[in-house]
Structure 1
Amino acid sequence: MATWDEKIKDFEQFLKFERNFSENTVDAYLRDIKKLKDYAELDLEKTGPLIITYEHIQEYLFQLSKKKFSERTQARWVSSIKSFFKYLVEDEAREDNPATLLEGPKLGLYLPDTLSFEDVVRIINVINTSTDLGKRNECMIEVLYGCGLRVSELIDLKISNINFKESYLKVEGKGDKSRFVPLAKFTSDLVKEYIQNVRSKNKINKRHEDIVFLNSRGTAMSRVIVFIIIKELTQKAGISKRISPHTFRHSFATHLLQNGADLRYIQEMLGHSSITTTEIYTHLKNEELRDVILNYHPRNKSE
């Protein structure tokens, strides 16, 4: 009888090589399925992936739902489980799919937190730019915000992919898709300054010679460190929103839209394969529009 570990390994290969999912996406799927595996082995007396039933999975999700996880997280579990069992059926490991009838929680429209331009400036202004570390952090946040990068794209950014003459970055995004992002003169000058005067002082690890942003050991930075830096700066700036590296990307897109940029252009800049993903920003704009109408429309003003 096939074990969870065997089938999870097969599923991993399928996601990587047939679906071409990024490492981060694959990790998220596998984490979710491993949680189900732990439940099946501990609470269901070692029930394997080929005999687990719809009722078992329902009970598992019910137990999890009592632990106050967000609806978005619960929806992701359902999505991962559905993908896993769909794969097992397609692979002819199972004849039936116990996840077909699973339903995730109904999600409202997910509107990401965004920063106003003033908030972005406030965060950058609390950086101590008299130190090399501060100069690097300032440059990182300006690139995150000014180019709308994902954190994985920021930490993988290569010097050889920056064209200072033509003012653009080549970004290697999700699923090995590349895109070109314009580089504003302000951001370009900062990056040049950082590479020439700060990064050049580092003892650089051979394997990371082309990586733009380096840590004190001369190697590429981790996602976690970027997250921690941003969290500390946000607290220092007195901003109470939950800010992550992705917030700068959302803010970049929202500010472009507010200033009249075409949605298709924003889609290109963000590297979204579907315009539907980009359309979320029109909802942000509509929310703002509603607030403006409620606050400033003469019919809403009390006498």
Structure 2
Amino acid sequence: MELTFSTTSITLPTDVDWYDATLYQQIQQHGFRHVDWDRLSDEWLLYIYLHDEPTLGSKRKESTLKEYFRDIRDFLLFVRDLAPSVRSLHHEEVSAYQGHLEARGYKPTTLRRKTTVIHSFLRFLHRRGIIEEDLTASMKRIAVKKESLVNRDFYEEEVQALLDYFKEHDYFMYTLLYTLVSTGLRIQELASAKWSGIYYQPDVDLHFITVFGKRDKLREVPLFEEVFQVIREFRNRRGLSLDLSKDTESALFPKPNGAHYHFKYLSNEFSKNMYQLKDTFSFIAKRIQLEEATRQEGKPIKYRITPHTCRHYTAAYYLSKGADLKAIQDLLDHDSSQTTDQYLRRTRKFSEHAAVKIGGQFMK
């Protein structure tokens, strides 16, 4: 698809693929200084923003592009009722949109994420000189209490009970849960990992799996021997090759045909199967009850077991085995030690509690 350029304007097609950077590259080659921004619709400002990577050498994933597109498109639809274009917005109307989001009942974490995307979009327009005023200056910050919203506690006896159950009844979930709790992999990383990414490191007598994390950052994640054997058995049951050198395409955690699962499918299956065990395990039923109770009280907290819960378990497990904060940070691919410390906050709060220090018994 080719663009038609004149000295000051661009004729844009109407059937653009929002997630294809081809048109953006053509505009870039033509030169942004030659673009008459006033002739571009708000939708095309959105398209250019999506593909204007903030970091040289990086590329936003399609899942990120879709999320940004959805959030900014909703913002632009709201804008149309207030102003002819985003170029003529007043900062009070940006605040009105934040109020609109809040009124829709989004939880604080979602509200903060959506606000961050709009903030980034408006800053981009200001830096490009498309809008004169920095409309983000009056945007309100979103308060998210660290002590609430999500309870990621996952205890060893719960993990062991679930592993025992799934090993007997559901090898798919057994392999999925065992891999997640032992590696700390994000569900996106597990879904995209390849079987051929496994290699043996004789110096430490461990298998490792090469994965690409956030920002396509490469890292090596250990696979304990028993976990490696469980994955091998899972593949064997699906009739797939166990030869690491020959099978270069199939997924680490494969579909029956060896292809990769979509991470959202794995996440939904994991959470659904956990929920269905509410009549089997009292700790799952209790989590659901607590979640419902806090929702009715107007202060909802998530207690359910999700793939992300497993990452918190991994952090706590490694801490209990003597690993330091930096080693756990590297394992989980956290940019900041503060994130890792937040994962371990509740573990430390209880282990360092004054009652624990005196032996947990008031009067002997």
Give deviations 1:56-103, integer Å, cap 9, x for gaps. 111111122122211122222221111111111222222221122212
Kindly state the Cα deviation for residue 295 of structure 1 after the two structures are TM-superposed: 6.6
Larger radius of gyration: 2
Gaps of 5+ in 1: 202-206
Matched residue, 1:136:
172
Matched residue, 2:362:
301
Shift in alpha-carbon separation, 1:278–1:196, aligned structure 2, 3 A: same
Matched residue, 2:197:
161
Q: Does 1:93 align with 2:155?
A: no
- Aligned partner of residue 219 in structure 2, secondary structure: strand
User: Counterpart amino acid of 1:167?
Assistant: H
Give deviations 1:185-217, integer Å, cap 9, x for gaps. 11111122223343429xxxxx99321222345
Task: Compare relative contact order (CA 8 Å, sep 6+) and give the higher one, 1 or 2.
Answer: 1
- Higher alpha-carbon deviation: 146-155 or 268-277: 268-277
- Aligned partner of residue 313 in structure 2, secondary structure: helix
Matched residue, 1:204:
none
- Aligned partner of residue 167 in structure 1, secondary structure: strand
Distance (whole Å) between structure 2 residues aligned to residue 199 and residue 247 of structure 1? 31
- Higher alpha-carbon deviation: 172-181 or 229-238: 229-238
Kindly state the Cα deviation for residue 262 of structure 1 after the two structures are TM-superposed: 0.6
Gaps of 5+ in 2: 1-37, 242-246, 288-302
Q: 8 Å contact 2:231–2:253 — kept in the other structure?
A: no
**Residue number among 160, 181, 187 corresponding to 2:221 in the alignment:** 181
Kindly report which structure 2 residues correspond to 1:91-130, keeping only aligned pairs within 5 A, or say none: 91-109=128-146, 113-127=152-166, 129=168
Q: Does 1:75 align with 2:129?
A: no
Q: 8 Å contact 1:254–1:284 — kept in the other structure?
A: no
Q: 8 Å contact 1:113–1:250 — kept in the other structure?
A: yes
Q: 8 Å contact 1:82–1:100 — kept in the other structure?
A: no
Q: 8 Å contact 1:172–1:179 — kept in the other structure?
A: yes
Give deviations 1:143-164, integer Å, cap 9, x for gaps. 1111100011011110111114
Distance (whole Å) between structure 2 residues aligned to residue 208 and residue 44 of structure 1? 54
Shift in alpha-carbon separation, 1:259–1:285, aligned structure 2, 3 A: same
Matched residue, 1:265:
327
- Higher alpha-carbon deviation: 158-167 or 258-267: 158-167
Shift in alpha-carbon separation, 1:244–1:208, aligned structure 2, 3 A: farther
Q: 8 Å contact 1:155–1:213 — kept in the other structure?
A: yes
Distance (whole Å) between structure 1 residues aligned to residue 360 and residue 207 of structure 2? 48
TM-score by length of 1: 0.85
- Higher alpha-carbon deviation: 231-240 or 13-22: 13-22
* Length, aligned pairs only: 292
Q: Does 1:54 align with 2:91?
A: yes
Stretches (4+) displaced over 6 A: none
- Higher alpha-carbon deviation: 114-123 or 245-254: 114-123
Kindly state the Cα deviation for residue 136 of structure 1 after the two structures are TM-superposed: 3.1
User: Counterpart amino acid of 1:175?
Assistant: R
Q: 8 Å contact 1:153–1:173 — kept in the other structure?
A: yes
> Which has the larger share of helix?
1
Distance (whole Å) between structure 2 residues aligned to residue 210 and residue 16 of structure 1? 33
Q: Does 1:27 align with 2:66?
A: yes
% same residue: 22
